[in-house]
Amino acid sequence: MAKEFYASSDVVFGKDAVHKLSEILKAYKAKSVMVVYGSSVKRVGIAQKVLNEVEKAQVKITVFEGVIPNPTNEVVEEAAEIARRENVDVFVAVGGGSCIDLTKAVNILMTNEGPIGRYGGIGLVKTPVLPLIAIPTTAGTSSEITNVVALTDTKAVCKYVIIDNKITANKVIADPEFTKSTPPSVTAATGMDAITHAVESYISNMATPLTEYHSLKSLQIFHKNLPLAVKDGSDMAAREQMMLGCIIVGFGFSNANLGLVHGIAHTLSAHFHLAHGMANAAVLPYVMEYNAESCPEKMVELARAIELSVTGNLEEDKYLLSRELLRLTKELQIKTLSQQGIEEKDFEMLADDVLKEPVLNFNPRQGITKEDILSILKKAF
């Protein structure tokens, strides 16, 4: 049966890659550029480095600094209003997943009618968008390379996704030096987000040989290099490998989709504003333990990929990955749900909302019940 694999972005990778930015803007014949970033990117000086390069293109510059974790519909509409007023014709997003997702969403509204919430789902963006250059400052979400936007609907109290090939960034400037200032806790959380992308996309019921290759290769990279990057943030070899892995896994999961881990994480973030990576990491080992029943062979393949000691006993080996992920979360000091402020009284409400998550359709184990989710939440507590 024929399978589709979509990849679009043009990637400039490596040290000093940002110096290509003015050349890229000139190639687009940009006249009015919006540069989007948050306070942390400004504080460590990355924003100014990017602005210096934009200035070389001799364009009108509009800055939007209002990036927030788990961006909301309201922030998207606010930024889009400014972008329309300034006749922005090219976007530059500088930051992590929240920044890049926000910018992709704003870009939709430059050529498509609002509100942004109407585009939740797959393939609903009608008109092609403007050029977008993504400059990631974390190694985790892969938003710079994917056709996905994750937003929070504060009125419905849910996190939803927009999936459309039209919204993928046209250019990616991936400079590992820009991740050097990321604190250890954020490096750990975003890195575990990347690992989640690798394992969930590999076992997804939408996976193909092309996506599986990217998922396996990226998992190998993350498993080896994430602990090194957390231990020593100045280890640029590890930083570079993590950023490379995020590009590789982005090609995989944007085609294969994700599963129950993200369904739970979306719900946790929507209700309690948990950082996406931390939410994923807290439940990842327990969801993989749960999923092992439905795809034991794939669990063993993932275990072999990271050189775990496979015994040949499928009933035992299918849990090797989930145990290793639990060990890794403890090594990286990932907080449990209780340490992140979740209370047991919230479990019933959370479980009900997780069951509404569309991403569950791609999970390898189907027939997920409320009791299944409650069991996972209790283990992660």
Q: Which two tokens stand for residue 208?
A: 């193909």
What pLDDT, on a 0 to 100 scale, did the predictor assign at position 3?
73
Dihedral of CA atoms 21, 254, 225, 264 in degrees, nearest 10, equals 120
Residue in this structure with the two tokens 């290793």, named with its chain if needed: 324
**What is the domain partition of the chain in residue ranges?**
10-179, 184-380
* Virtual torsion, Cα 272, 35, 118, 275, nearest 10 deg: -20
Q: Do 280 and 261 meet the contact criterion of CB atoms below 8 Å apart?
A: yes
* Cα diameter, the chain: 64
Q: At what angle do helices 260-272 and 370-380 cross, to 10 degrees?
A: 70
Q: Do the domains 184-380 and 10-179 match in fold?
A: no
CATH entry 3.40.50.300 includes domain 184-380: no
**Taking each helix axis from N to C terminus, what angle separates 184-203 and 260-272, rounded to the nearest 10 degrees?**
140
What is the mean pLDDT, run by run of 10 residues, along the chain of 381 residues? Answer: 75 95 97 97 96 98 96 98 98 97 98 97 96 96 94 94 96 95 95 98 96 97 98 96 96 95 96 94 98 98 97 97 98 96 96 96 98 98 97
> DSSP letters along 58-81, please?
--EEEEE----SS-BHHHHHHHHH
Q: What pLDDT does 198 receive?
A: 98
At the topology level of CATH, where does 10-179 sit? Rossmann fold (3.40.50)
The answer to whether 274 touches 340, Cβ cutoff 8 Å, is yes
pLDDT of residue 1: 65
β-strand pairing of 32-36 with 60-64 = parallel
